[in-house]
Amino acid sequence: MKLLRKLILWLILAPIAVVLAIQLYFFVQIWWWVDHNPTSTSFMRHQLDVLRERNPKAQLKHKWIPYNRISKNLKRAIIASEDANFSEHEGVDWEALQKAYEKNAKKGKVVAGGSTITQQLAKNLFLSGERSYVRKAQEVVITYMLEYWMDKERIFEIYLNVVEWGNGVFGAEAAAQHYFGISAANLNSVQAARLAVMLPRPRFYDKHRGSAYLSRRTDLILRRMSGAELP
């Protein structure tokens, strides 16, 4: 009986210890990234593996650039399109999540996410693209770790440099070069709005650049950009 109790206790404590160890890894890694730039993310590595299934020599398009060398047009466009309350919330916009849940329930399928820029970064840095409550819970935990260690500008800088913008295209500099043949510093308001609108489905819009929705949504974001508050 004593041995059985020890075995049961071990079976209970071992998974808890593993989960805590994983959280500690995330916590320390985020601390390191406060003043060191990530060279890749979980999502980038996954997409590279996908590309290499077709072409073993495939490489990602990605180049890190500092925050002050990214057009303010692009920053405003992304905040206007993805997370209007970015400078105000503490990582998770619970009101936006509630609205997304209600919209999805009404439609009977997932049509809205409600994730903030910080949540999107948490997912890109560490997690897979699967949809589950466990993954969402982990995303929220990592989100609060990011907000604990980093100010909004640093969070936004990393996001702008690692977010997916097309098939194998990651970060603002690679996106500006890929779509317009210019540096991210030189993006005008129309180009910036267009890139911001592409973010929810970047690989789709990479192939469907003439999409009518893309044009309509770009016009909407252009009108909202002036009210976007930058960190």
Q: Which tens digit of pLDDT belongs to each residue from 16-66?
A: 888 889 999 999 999 999 999 999 999 999 999 999 999 999 999 999 999
Please check whether residues 26 and 99 belong to one and the same domain: no
pLDDT at 144 over 70: yes
- Tell me what the mean pLDDT of segment 119-127 comes to: 94
- The phi, psi pair for 136, rounded to 5°, reads -65, -40
The pLDDT assigned to 156 comes to 98
Q: What is the pTM of this model?
A: 0.90
Q: Which tens digit of pLDDT belongs to each residue from 159-186?
A: 999 999 999 999 999 999 999 999 999 9
Give the CATH number, domain containing residue 81.
Answer: 1.10.3810.10
| SS3 state at 112 | coil
Among the ranges given (106-110, 111-115, 204-208, 210-214), the one the predictor scored with the smallest mean pLDDT: 106-110
What's the token pair of residue 145? 């770790």
Domain of residue 173, residue span? 33-227
Please check whether residues 62 and 154 belong to one and the same domain: yes
Please check whether residues 22 and 98 belong to one and the same domain: no
Please check whether residues 27 and 85 belong to one and the same domain: no
Distance separating alpha carbons of residues 208 and 217, to the nearest angstrom: 14
Please check whether residues 27 and 44 belong to one and the same domain: no
Please check whether residues 4 and 100 belong to one and the same domain: no
Please check whether residues 208 and 108 belong to one and the same domain: yes
Distance separating alpha carbons of residues 162 and 45, to the nearest angstrom: 11
Q: What would the DSSP string read from start to end of 33-96?
A: TTSS--S--HHHHHHHHHHHHH-TT---EE----GGGS-HHHHHHHHHHH-TTTTTSSS--HHH
Tally of domains within the chain = 2
